[in-house]
Amino acid sequence: MQETADPELACPVAPVVDIVFSRWTTPILWSLHTFGRQRFVELERRLTSITPKVLTQRLRQLERDGLIARTYYAEMPPRVEYEITELGASLGPLFAHLATWADIHLPEVDRARQTYDAAR
């Protein structure tokens, strides 16, 4: 096996982590998966600590990545809805595995942090 100088190229999941685990990606995808098609304001209400600017940026990036679809309705007033795509929904098993891991191991992580912090 040949060594790669760039650590990001050496890890085949690095691009996936960059896409899926960017700040706000998982809450947006979870909301669209759980509650279905939503308007911007509905997402904003569910994700209370995100700013409108950041929500707009993340939605555009997720649309660019093919994980969500944006539908524009030319009516008065104009309406835009977002929904998770089949590609976005295919991340469901990954998130389910992570949720299982979190249930089992986050208490261990918390204990390790407490031990570490107490030693400092």
**What does 54-111 look like in DSSP terms, one character per residue?**
HHHHHHHHHHHTTSEEEEEE-SSS-EEEEEE-HHHHTTHHHHHHHHHHHHHHHHHHHH
More confident residue, 8 or 108: 108
Residues 8-18: pLDDT tens digits? Answer: 677 888 888 88
DSSP code of residue 22: S
pLDDT at residue 119 tops 60: yes
Residues 16-69: pLDDT tens digits? Answer: 888 888 889 999 999 999 999 999 999 999 999 999 999 999 999 999 999 999
pLDDT at residue 6 tops 90: no
Q: Strands across the sheet with 68-73, in order? A: 38-39, 79-84, 68-73
Residues 59-105: pLDDT tens digits? Answer: 999 999 999 999 999 999 989 999 999 999 999 898 889 899 999 99
Q: What is the 3-state secondary structure (H, E, C) of 2-20?
A: CCCCCHHHHCCCHHHHHHH
> Which domains, ranges and CATH numbers included, belong to the chain?
7-89 (1.10.10.10)
Contact 98, 61 (CB under 8 A): no
**In the numeric block, which tokens belong to residue 21?**
């685990």
Classify 39 as helix, strand or coil.
Answer: strand
Report pTM. Answer: 0.80
